[in-house]
Amino acid sequence: MAHDRRRFLRDTGLLGTSGALGVLAAGSRQAAAAAPATVQRAAAAPSLQGPYLDLRSGAGNALAMTRLVGSLDPAAVKYGWYSGRLMSVVPGSAARDLIGVIGLGAARTLPQDAQGRWQVLRRECGFFFDLASGEVLDRWRNPFTDEDVEVVHIANDPVNQTISPVRAGEQLYEQAVTQKAPEPFVLPWQQAGRRAFVEFHSHLWAKNPLDPAVWVRESAGPMVQISDMMTYGCELAELQDASLPSVEYSGNWVHVRPWQPWMLMGSAPGHLLYHCFTGSATRLEDVPPQIARIVERRLPAFLQPPEKPGRSEGSLTRYMRTRKPAPPRVPPGAPGAAPAAMPDPTR
C-alpha cells in the first residue's frame, strides 16, 4: 500500500530454522513427546503465543511481519496491492470523495544478520483514477480551483525497509524523524476465532522538501505531517505453521497527508485522506486483474522487486527533482484568467 506510501515496519528478523529457534523447536518436540495426548492437542492449537511464534516477543513479531510482507525464501516475490479512494478534508465542510487510487508493490526479503533482521527489497507504484469511469487519470479538473492539472502517479523505487526484533524510532526513507530508546518490536495482535489481526501506525512530522517560498503552488508549508495506519488479517493456523515461508493477508490502509503537490493547492486549508482495502499474493495471477493490467501496461518493471538495496527517494523529493515550480496563476479578471466564480466543492 503504499500502501506509503507508503512506510512499514521497520526492523525484523529471525534466525530461520537454525540457532535459537532451532533449539526452541527441538525443546518443544521433546516436551510434546513426553506429554499426554490431550495435552499435546491443546498445546498444538494455534494461538497468539504459539506453537511456532510467540507474538508477545520482538523475534516473533519480526518473523510474522516478514512472512506477511515478504517470504523467508529469498528468491520468492511477494505482492502487496491496494484499492480505494482519496478524499479531501476541508474545514467547514464534509469530507468529499475526489478520485480513486490503486497500487501494487513487489517485494523480496533477505536475511540480514544473526540478530534476526531482514532486508526488504521493494518497489511500489500507484495510479489515480476517475471514480465514475474507472479510467486512469492523466489530467484532472481540480474542483476547488476549477483548473485542469497534470496528474503525477506514484512510482517509488526503491522503498527500503528493515524488519528487526528491536526498533528505535521512525524514519522517512533514509531520513531519521524520531529517535527513542530501543524497545522490542511488539505489535497489538488480536485473535478472533481462527484469524489473527494486527495494526501498525506510523506518524511523521518532517521538513517539507518542497520549500513553499519556491514551490508556491505545490507546497502545503515548511513541514509535512503524514500518518499511515495499516491493518493485517490472516489465518492463525497459517501464521503458526512453521512450514510456510510466507503468509497471505487482507486488511486496509489509511493514509493522511497534505495536498498532493500536483493538485496545485498550495497552503490552502485542508488535507487528503486515503482509505484502501489491501491484500497480498505470491503469484501475479492472484493480484486483482485490473491492478495487474495497469502496472503491466504502464510500469512493467514494478512487477519485480529490486535486485539490491538502493537509496530510497520519497515522492515529494522526487517531485522536486523531476519537476519545475508551476507559474503563478493569472489573477481573476486579468487577460487569460480563469473564471472568477469558484465551484462549490460540496456539490
Q: Model confidence over 171-189: pLDDT tens digits? A: 555 455 556 788 999 999 9
Residue 210 lies in a domain: yes
From residue 50, give the alpha-carbon distance in Å to each of 43, 47, 232, 270, 278. 8, 5, 18, 45, 26
**Segments forming the whole domain that contains residue 202:** 19-322
- Among 315, 327, 317, which Cα is nearest to 153's? 315
Helix (H, G, I), strand (E, B) or coil at 163: strand
In the predicted structure, residue 149 carries a pLDDT above the cut 60? yes
Please give the angle made by the CA atoms of 59, 65 and 68, to the nearest 5 degrees: 145
Mean pLDDT along residues 308-320: 89
Q: Are 266 and 216 in contact (CB under 8 A)?
A: yes
Count the neighbouring beta carbons within 10 Å of the beta carbon of residue 236. 22
28-38 pLDDT tens trace = 333 334 434 43
Greater pLDDT, 178 or 263: 263
Strand partners, 205: 225
Mean pLDDT along residues 187-199: 97
> Cell 523505487 appears where?
157
| Omega of the bond leading into 51 within 30 degrees of 0 (cis) | yes
pLDDT tier for residue 290 given thresholds of 50, 70 and 90: very high
Residue 218 lies in a domain: yes
Query: Which helix or strand (DSSP H or E) is residue 63 part of?
Result: helix 58-69
> Cell 492523466 appears where?
138
- Among 165, 183, 186, which Cα is nearest to 56's? 186
Number of domains the chain contains:
1
Q: What is the pTM of this model?
A: 0.82
How many residues comprise the chain? 347
DSSP 300: G
In the predicted structure, residue 247 carries a pLDDT above the cut 50? yes
Residue 8 lies in a domain: no
Q: Are 123 and 156 in contact (CB under 8 A)?
A: yes
**202-217 b/e with 16+ CB inside 10 Å = b?**
bebebebbbebeebbb
CA–CA separation, 265 and 137 (whole Å) = 18
Quickly list H helices, the chain: 19-34, 37-44, 58-69, 236-239, 289-298, 315-322
Q: Are 222 and 266 in contact (CB under 8 A)?
A: no
3-state helix, strand, coil in the chain (%, to 5): 20, 35, 45
pLDDT tier for residue 14 given thresholds of 50, 70 and 90: very low
CA–CA separation, 48 and 196 (whole Å) = 8
CA–CA separation, 258 and 266 (whole Å) = 10
101-127 pLDDT tens trace = 999 999 999 999 988 999 999 999 999
Residue 313 lies in a domain: yes
Residue 332 lies in a domain: no
Residue 333 lies in a domain: no
Question: How high is the pLDDT of residue 345?
Answer: 42
CA–CA separation, 63 and 226 (whole Å) = 27
Q: Are 116 and 13 in contact (CB under 8 A)?
A: yes
Residue 344 lies in a domain: no
- Among 230, 229, 183, 226, which Cα is nearest to 68's? 230
Residue 340 lies in a domain: no
Least confident of 12-26, 47-61, 68-82, 233-247: 12-26
pLDDT tier for residue 43 given thresholds of 50, 70 and 90: low
Mean pLDDT along residues 140-155: 96
- Among 124, 15, 136, which Cα is nearest to 69's? 124
